[in-house]
Amino acid sequence: MPELPEVETVVRALRPVLVGRTICTAEFPAPPRRMVNLPPEALQERISGQTIRALNRRAKYLLFELSRDHLVVHLKMTGHLYVLSPDQTSPFDKWVRVRFPLDDGRELRFSDSRRFGRVYLAGEAAEVLPELGPEPLEESFTLSVFKARLKGRERALKPLLLDQSFIAGVGNIYADEALHLAQIHPQRTAKSLSQAEIKRLYDSVRHVLQEGIRHQGATIGWYRSPDGKPGEAQNHLRVYRTRATKDVPCPVCGSPISVIPMGQRSTHFCPVCQPETKEGRKK
């Protein structure tokens, strides 16, 4: 599933193309079922004629600020957003679930082979968004804020980092990357962290997300930028492994990477760099 860096990459690519454009209508090649929060006819009527005033991101959601409403899109596992002229084609067209014709003759297309993605239209984004924690790359997300949110928590760190109500936008890939960079075992509890470890983890979360954005996201599954190009972040991962890289050792110490299940997700870590001791591996 695309995480904060991938969604931020999509937002930055689409913003100059879409802001200022007016949505003419919404077209559904097939019944959208649970993909939308309104009946298709109601969404079509309500969105028609609304201008896109801004495009931003909240956690893993794209937020389109319209003239009267907010269009909220969640890509989920296989969602892809892109803009083309009606006569242009894309390999993703075979899974297009909704088209938004625009006033300049082009159209915004949402493709989703697995149909897990969501398209919401609401007066305010908060009406459809779940409870979300702070944005980890915002200036307001300080070390003090991070410490306060960790205080007294007994959950293991990996599932805590995946909890969108704790921190917004971090998913499986970047949680593993941050814990490895911080030299902290994923099964350690938040309550067990020393002040030095909290600082390392805070810095690491921000660093791996910034690097993910710099490399335009990680293309491990379906993710592509709006122009169809893959990201490059997967070529710079420290510990997260795929089938193709499962035998690649730790880039720091050369040890084999361990994979364990945590919260129905595979968790990747280095048992040497991330031991289950309080202060971790000494540099």
60 is known as an active-site residue: yes
Residues 6+ apart with CB under 8 A from 89: none
- Closest to 171 in 3D by CA, of 160, 180, 182, 186: 160
> Distance between CA atoms of 108 and 83, rounded to whole angstroms?
5
Residue 216: left if φ>0, alpha if ψ -120 to 50, beta else—which one?
A: left
Structural contact between residues 170 and 131, judged by C-beta atoms closer than 8 angstroms = no
Please tell me which residue in 12, 147, 265, 281 is annotated as part of the active site: 265
Residues 6+ apart with CB under 8 A from 88: none
3 is known as an active-site residue: yes
Task: Say what the alpha-carbon torsion angle 228, 229, 233, 234 is, to the nearest 10 degrees.
Answer: 80
2 is known as an active-site residue: yes
Please tell me which residue in 5, 8, 32, 60 is annotated as part of the active site: 60
> Distance between CA atoms of 130 and 201, rounded to whole angstroms?
25
246 is known as an active-site residue: no
CA 161, 162, 167, 170 dihedral sign is: positive
Catalytic residues: 2-3, 60, 265
